[in-house]
Structure 1
Amino acid sequence: MEVRRLRLLREFADRGSIGAVADALHMTPSAVSQQLKVLAEEAGVALLEPDGRRIRLTGAGQALVLRADDVIAAVERAQDEMASYRSGHASVRLAMFPSGASLLLPDVLTRAKSSGTDAYAFHLDVGYAEAATALADFDIVVTHRDERMPTRTDPRVAVTELMREPLDVIVARTSDLAAHRRVTVSELADRDWISVLGGFPVDDVLQSISALTGVAPRVTQRMLDFATIESLVAADHGIALMPRHAARDPGVVRLELKGVRAARVYEALTRPHPRAAIAAVVDDLAAVAADVARTP
């Protein structure tokens, strides 16, 4: 079996359709289909089967994808090692959600550079359930989840927990709540909330708090950017849940939630058995996150 065909099979597993694989690899759909057909002949068993108007992996196809991950990882480790001998540098593509990148990325890039790794970072802000699909394009995906949500279990994804970041309530400095250090959910029942879009971490936490306490939040605005949320809170348009290290606007006051554990957990996702350079950047992420977590 040729490695390039195994790559095509893995791309299909990651992207879900022949057309998406063709687009990603700048091939024609017929060329992709032909190469997967040859791979099936080499394997001696069907790898794809109809699924309504689409096609999906058979059980044998799923099993071969797992082996393909191992083979491709071994080849990439060898290529990375040879590249480091030639140039002294290895490269890693890293995707992170924006607030996590703001917090961790500067020191991670410094550490990676000092060890001879060229780390190329990109913003990626998707829900936790979709984060692993980005491994089709990136070596490392840093994501976050509500601490009450179980971590993902997938034989094709290795998960490294980086840190737990508490979530606090932020209110305007002019608010009647600003003098409090701690507040209960019931004390916030009649307040307007500003949150992120539904399905994203932090809003998930807000909804789980609601389920635990029976107090439904009245969300009046939804924004994608924490800086915008803070600006609206500072202008007294509502209150918000904010990751502790993301709250920076001088116009807001941070209050601890009393009687409720609320936090988001940072995770680094990779393929199992990653290249040495990828594993080293994950170690850098863990070290920087540990330093941040020790900060009050």
Structure 2
Amino acid sequence: MDIRRLRILRELADRGTVIAVARALSYTPSAVSQQVRALQAEVGVALTEPAGRGLRLTDAGRMLASRADEVLAALDRAEAELDSYRSIPRGSVRVALFPSGALLLLPRLLRRLEGQDLIRVEYRDVDMTPSEVPGLTADFDIVVTHRDDHAAPFDQSRVDSLTLLREPLDIALPVGHPLAEQDPVDLAELAGERWISPDVGFPVDDVLRSLAVRTGVRPVVVQRINDFRITESLVAHGHGTALLPRYTVDNPGVVLRPLAGVLAGRHVEAVTRRGAAERPAVRVVLDALVAEAGAVTR
């Protein structure tokens, strides 16, 4: 049933005449009559009957008018609640983070959001490639992802993206490695190393392959490991060399050294559906992410 027509029927029950309803709602009498007839056709029951030169409600009309009060009151309550969602940060915010991004940002992000009692944030770690990110925004309000320095930015016609930080990628070497004392390290000096890299298509592997194109040094990848904590442990025990993000590594057996003359890094970004950041609750979480990213890089 059309809500506007229900309101007109309720006004007719209250005011008694079509002319009075028209005057109250700034309609013409004919427009009021037309809307009442349309409502009758919609419900399939006579709602009015002639009364002299005017109309009066039938029993069905009076019943529907009384129920209209409940419907309109519920709509008013719903509209009031929607207004609060537009102005007050509240409701659920679903956040997906790539695993090492969650390791870097999530613990202190949770602390930053303590006290936001009206916001319920649901987090999931998702091992994602850049090509999968736009699709993930259908299931998540915020997708925290990463792409390498040389990758194209996300299509702004589909999503909004906010850069949180740029994290350099360094050479990870075991303590005692002959190159561990060099700062920086030339990639050519690593030509004979065995490399540990994520699966093909993930940003760090993209960087390793782009470095090979730029330098002519083809890396020999002996292991494909997506979990950086496992990669750290393997490097620490001398099982290979890796490119690892500078702010994420936390293993005393690993030495990080920057690459000489090569730009290697990953951009950590928060990606949302177009317009999603207009929700106050989503905006609060985005602001907390920006603040935490800033703390990481200070």
Partner SS for 2:179: coil
In the alignment, does 2:277 pair up with 1:276? no
Is there any run of 5+ residues in structure 1 with no aligned partner, and where? 1-74
Partner SS for 1:254: strand
Q: For 1:224 and 1:271, how far apart are their aligned partners in 2? A: 27
Is there any run of 5+ residues in structure 2 with no aligned partner, and where? 1-77
In the alignment, does 2:108 pair up with 1:104? no
In the alignment, does 2:294 pair up with 1:290? yes
After superposition, the Cα gap between the structure-2 partners of 1:255 and 1:80, relative to the gap in structure 1 and judged at 3 Å, is farther
Give TM-score scaled by structure 1 length: 0.69
Checking the alignment, whether the CA contact within 8 Å between 1:109 and 1:119 is kept in structure 2 is: no
> What are the equivalent positions in structure 2 for 1:93-242 lying under 5 Å apart?
93-116=94-117, 117-242=119-244
Give aligned pairs, total. 218
Q: For 2:166 and 2:196, how far apart are their aligned partners in 1? A: 22
Partner SS for 1:202: helix
Q: Deviations over 1:28-76 (max 9, x none)?
A: xxxxxxxxxxxxxxxxxxxxxxxxxxxxxxxxxxxxxxxxxxxxxxx99
Q: Deviations over 1:243-282 (max 9, x none)?
A: 0012111111111111001000011111122211112211
Q: For 1:147 and 1:158, how far apart are their aligned partners in 2? A: 18
Q: For 2:251 and 2:83, how far apart are their aligned partners in 1? A: 43
Report what 1:250 is aligned to: 252
Q: For 2:154 and 2:138, how far apart are their aligned partners in 1? A: 17
> What are the equivalent positions in structure 2 for 1:53-68 lying under 5 Å apart?
none
Q: Deviations over 1:130-152 (max 9, x none)?
A: 11211111111000000111211
After superposition, the Cα gap between the structure-2 partners of 1:248 and 1:118, relative to the gap in structure 1 and judged at 3 Å, is same
Checking the alignment, whether the CA contact within 8 Å between 1:80 and 1:90 is kept in structure 2 is: no
Q: Which amino acid is the alignment partner of residue 124 of structure 1?
A: V
Checking the alignment, whether the CA contact within 8 Å between 1:103 and 1:245 is kept in structure 2 is: yes
Identity %: 46
Give TM-score scaled by structure 2 length: 0.69
After superposition, the Cα gap between the structure-2 partners of 1:236 and 1:277, relative to the gap in structure 1 and judged at 3 Å, is same
Q: Which amino acid is the alignment partner of residue 106 of structure 1?
A: P
Q: Which amino acid is the alignment partner of residue 101 of structure 1?
A: A
Checking the alignment, whether the CA contact within 8 Å between 1:162 and 1:268 is kept in structure 2 is: yes
C-alpha displacement at 1:175, in angstroms? 1.5
Q: Which amino acid is the alignment partner of residue 157 of structure 1?
A: V
Q: Deviations over 1:156-175 (max 9, x none)?
A: 31111110000000111132
Q: Which amino acid is the alignment partner of residue 137 of structure 2?
A: L
